[in-house]
Amino acid sequence: MPTRFRDCRASPNLGWRDIQEILADSAYEPAPSAAGFVTNAAKDWNGGGMHFSDDLGFGIVDANVAVNLARAWTEQSTSANMDSVSVAQRNAFSVPVNGTGQSSVIDTQAVRVQHVTVHIDDSNLPAADTRLVLVSPSGTRSVLLNDAGNVGGQDHTGGLDLTGSTIESNAFWGESAAGTWTLQVQDSSGRTIGTISDWTLTIDGDAGTGQAPLVYTPEFAQLASSGGARTVVSNAGLGTTTIDLIALPNPTSINLNGGAGEIDGVAVTVNAGLRNVNLDGSTGAATVTAASAGGSIQGGAGATTIYGTGGADTITAGQGTTTV
């Protein structure tokens, strides 16, 4: 308990959206893998998309990773700097008996998604016999509703209609909102032709591409062990110059000017563009070559070796031995 209070005091400027982001970033998929997890199209978490389950959210929070990531966090995401966009669809569509109807809206603002909300303004849809699925521009699918209150074929909602319902999903966290969003509506009653007269999509998150850092956690070694896109470290199109390498147990070597490297024992290719590195809580030996333009480097709990390039670096020693 004292450690928790100490670490809260060490991060007094965290906004409520920062705390949500930290908890999502520090969660790992249960092993053996639970059913229902999908990988979205985010690009700033462990080299690629985040895993998400409609039943279990982002997974199980690793408290050690969360605390160290909170100490490393430099953003301040609050309601004041949250970007929000709403798009309404006023064209009615029908849902055939035992069939699926769908409707789409187009968002033109490149918000970095955190929360997505669907509001059903007017409909003729029984909650117990309806399945709602929202599909993002990147193709990520989130089940918003699945025959709620239907037990053994019996409606236990008292005939609840979905008119006025608001349903939120976090499955698209870190994706870009720009593009076509599709609401798929499926009837399972076999009796009713359903309709939706109008619905509204609301997206909350960071303006533009946002400034959330590239985050790497101990789950990276498993996710990237087979190679692929996750082994390319790049901030292209993301707007951040910071990489957080948090609580990694194996060796890490990063040259911020670009080139071959290693993250938690996995070979990676680093693209130029990053300037700031945080190794908070990482126990593996780490080597960092600073960017020629300068930046900020935080050592880890293991032995950290830092090579300067062009000067203008701010260096903070970690809990382990730091050699500059």
Do 238 and 311 reside in the same domain of the chain? yes
Segment 65-81, tens digit of pLDDT: 999 999 999 888 889 98
Q: What's the pLDDT at 32?
A: 65
Do 163 and 92 reside in the same domain of the chain? yes
Do 278 and 219 reside in the same domain of the chain? yes
Do 72 and 134 reside in the same domain of the chain? no
Segment 86-142, tens digit of pLDDT: 999 999 898 888 899 999 999 998 899 999 999 998 788 888 888 999 999 999 999
Give the span between the Cα atoms of 188 and 126, in whole angstroms.
10
Do 108 and 53 reside in the same domain of the chain? no
Q: What's the pLDDT at 237?
A: 85
Do 143 and 286 reside in the same domain of the chain? no
Bridge partners, 217 (sequence order):
none
Do 14 and 94 reside in the same domain of the chain? no
Give the span between the Cα atoms of 303 and 287, in whole angstroms.
9
Last residue of a domain, which of 171, 206, 241?
206
283 touches 263 (CB < 8 A): no
Last residue of a domain, which of 174, 206, 238?
206
Nearest to 25 by CA among 3, 6, 44: 44
298 touches 316 (CB < 8 A): yes
Last residue of a domain, which of 206, 230, 247?
206
Q: Is the pLDDT higher at 151 or at 233?
A: 233
Supply the CATH number for residue 183's domain: 2.60.120.260
**What is the count of structural domains for the chain?**
2
Do 181 and 282 reside in the same domain of the chain? no
What domain range includes position 39?
2-78+210-323
